[in-house]
């Protein structure tokens, strides 16, 4: 088993259910576009690793808290720029939190599997 510190970034879309109710296809397209055009690049730029994706959410592991915070700040700044001029009712806004954890990993079939936090 391996124990290592990691910074976990968790993000989701504020009001996702409401946005989906207003325009399901448009909301899905907007989330996919933002992820492809912005979020995935910022994660890579800051040496993050996507752990899990959900419809409107993402969990990302960083080896550095500094990188996780820098990534979150850059995403939020870029989203503010992208949504300027849009009404608040239709705007995509991300809620982002960061947690620092000591994680236990178990080598299995040449892959690392997280088995829990300490």
Domain edges within the chain: 2-117
Per residue in 4-34, pLDDT (tens digit) is: 788 999 999 999 999 999 999 999 999 999 9
% of the chain at pLDDT higher than 70:
85
Please state whether the predicted TM-score (pTM) of the whole model is above 0.75: yes
Query: In the CATH scheme, what architecture does the domain 2-117 have?
Result: 2-Layer Sandwich (3.30)
Distance separating alpha carbons of residues 55 and 37, to the nearest angstrom: 17
Query: What Å distances lie between residue 97 and 20, 29, 76, 100, 104, CA to CA?
Result: 23, 24, 12, 10, 21
pLDDT digits 0-9 by tens, 32-84: 999 999 999 999 999 999 999 998 999 999 999 999 999 999 999 999 998 88
Mean pLDDT for the chain overall: 87
């Amino acid at each position: 088993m391996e124990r290592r510190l990691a910074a976990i970034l968790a993000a989701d879309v504020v009001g996702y259910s409401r946005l989906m109710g207003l325009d399901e296809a448009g909301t899905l397209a907007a989330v996919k576009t933002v992820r492809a055009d912005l979020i995935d690049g910022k994660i890579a730029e800051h040496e993050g690793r996507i752990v899990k994706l959900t419809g409107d959410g993402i969990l990302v592991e960083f080896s550095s808290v500094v990188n996780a915070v820098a990534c979150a700040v850059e995403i939020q700044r870029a989203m503010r720029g992208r949504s300027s001029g849009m009404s608040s009712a239709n705007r995509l806004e991300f809620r982002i939190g960061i947690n620092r954890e000591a994680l236990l990993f178990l080598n299995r079939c040449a892959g690392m599997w997280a088995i829990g936090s300490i």
